[in-house]
Amino acid sequence: MRIIELGHVVLYVSDLERMADFYGKTLGFTEIVRAWPTALFSGGRTHHELLLIEVGGDPRPAARLHEMRPGLYHIGFKIGDGPDAARAAYAELRSKNVPIVGTADHTVTHSIYILDPDGNELELYADVRDDWNVDPAAIMSPLKPLRF
């Protein structure tokens, strides 16, 4: 067996309406269906890339880099290609008052790190170099600051 791609991510959420509105209206995922207690979203690559399931309760705080622990750190979503795509996303997130917890130039990507309403960390990234498949070492390049 060989995994050929990451198919989808499933999140248990505290409030389906709030989270579905965030992923659909704020981040622009296409909502496929919302029927309590679930909502499915797709970026167009497959039938669904994100499934939300309401379980209620209080959200757990996201793991932060300075408090590393086992478990999910963040989910990465590609938002486009080139530095202009990241710059435009950053401006849009700021205009929507989305909490931005960091940015990074990873050499092959420009990344913006945000929190969803339940505190899950998301990486929104734009590919800025497409030669990573012929120069795999580029993926492990030292992290550089990214300012918008």
pLDDT, mean of each 10-residue run, the chain (148 residues)? 87 96 97 96 92 92 65 90 96 96 94 94 92 79 89
Residues carrying CATH 3.10.180.10, the chain:
1-58
CATH topology of domain 1-58: 2,3-Dihydroxybiphenyl 1,2-Dioxygenase; domain 1 (3.10.180)
pLDDT at 139: 80
pLDDT at residue 141, as a whole number: 84
Topology of the domain comprising 73-148: 3.30.720
Residues of CATH 3.30.720.110 domain(s) within the chain? 73-148
Instruction: Give residues with Cβ within 8 angstroms of 75, minimum separation 6.
Output: 9, 120, 121, 122, 123
Which DSSP string do the residues of the chain spell out, in sequence order?
----S---EEEEES-HHHHHHIIIIIT-PEEEEEETTEEEEE-SSSS-SEEEEE--SPPPPPP-GGG--SS---EEEEEEESHHHHHHHHHHHHHTTPPEEEEEE-SSEEEEEEE-TT--EEEEEEE----TTT-GGGGGPPPB----
